[in-house]
Amino acid sequence: MTTDTPTSTAPAESRLAAREWVEAFNARDRQGEEAARTADYIGHAPDGLGLPALDSDAWVAFLDSFLEGFPDLHLEVQDTVADEEMNAQRILFTGTHTGLFRGLPPTGRRVRFSGLELSRVVDGKAAEHWFQMDTLTLFEQLGLRVFPGPRLLTRIMIRPIATLARRWRR
């Protein structure tokens, strides 16, 4: 019995496949995006978002949540590095917050933040995808401020006092 296994893609083809996927997203070409992913595609969101691994349908739903808040969201590939199986991209995200995003009403603010994407490419398609994005910059540009939680805040406040107390004891 023989088994057909997907073949790895050459680095140039891997870079091209990833770039075409981004171009399909920017054009809002759903069929082009779907064609850029394998049938058993798995996406991995940043751990901080608390999402499980995303199949193709869940990936589309995840993107839709971004597009609801940023209908003009645009991705610009700034750098790409690839080998036979993996492709890494540095991405610049830009858009305007004109819709509901993660419970935040529209602010009308323009955003510009960076991200890193890593894709395992098989037969010219993304089979598995990991990404990270600079959510701190995104949230700050939306007017949100990130504050430390109670445990860290206590440490931050006590440290200078403890340092002064040690100096006074000397």
User: Reduced to 3 states, what is the DSSP secondary structure of residue 163?
Assistant: helix
What pLDDT does 3 receive?
Answer: 44
What's the rounded mean pLDDT across residues 8-18? Answer: 77
Whose CA is closest to 70, among 23, 28, 24, 18?
28
Please state, for a pLDDT cut of 70, what percent of the chain lies above it: 90
- In the predicted model, is pLDDT for residue 8 greater than 70? no
In a domain, 3, yes or no: no
Instruction: Provide the CB-side half-sphere exposure for 29 (13 A, CA).
Output: 12
Tens-digit pLDDT profile for residues 66-124? 999 999 999 999 999 998 889 999 999 999 999 999 889 999 999 999 999 999 999 88
CATH number at residue 99: 3.10.450.50
- In the predicted model, is pLDDT for residue 37 greater than 90? yes
Q: Which domain, by its residues, includes 118?
A: 11-169
Mean pLDDT of the chain: 87
In a domain, 5, yes or no: no
In a domain, 6, yes or no: no
Which H or E run includes 67?
helix 56-69
Tokens for 51? Answer: 């999402």
In a domain, 70, yes or no: yes
Whose CA is closest to 129, among 5, 73, 48, 46?
46
Q: How confident is the model at residue 155 (pLDDT cuts 50, 70, 90)?
A: low
Backbone φ and ψ of 103, nearest 5°: 85, -5
Give the chain's end-to-end CA distance (angstroms, integer).
80
In a domain, 66, yes or no: yes
In a domain, 16, yes or no: yes
* Single pTM value for the model: 0.78
Q: Return the higher-pLDDT residue of 24 and 160.
A: 24
Tokens for 150? Answer: 């109670």
Residue 22 contacts residue 91 (beta carbons within 8 Å) = yes
What pLDDT does 108 receive?
Answer: 97
Q: How confident is the model at residue 128 (pLDDT cuts 50, 70, 90)?
A: very high
Which H or E run includes 70?
none
Distance from C-alpha of 24 to C-alpha of 8, rounded to nearest angstrom:
22
Residue 74 contacts residue 94 (beta carbons within 8 Å) = yes
In a domain, 1, yes or no: no
119 has which bridge partners? 87, 129
Give Cα 88 distance to the centre of its chain. Answer: 12
Q: How confident is the model at residue 153 (pLDDT cuts 50, 70, 90)?
A: low
What pLDDT does 115 receive?
Answer: 96
The number of folded domains in the chain is 1
Tens-digit pLDDT profile for residues 143-152? 988 777 777 6
What pLDDT does 102 receive?
Answer: 87
In a domain, 4, yes or no: no
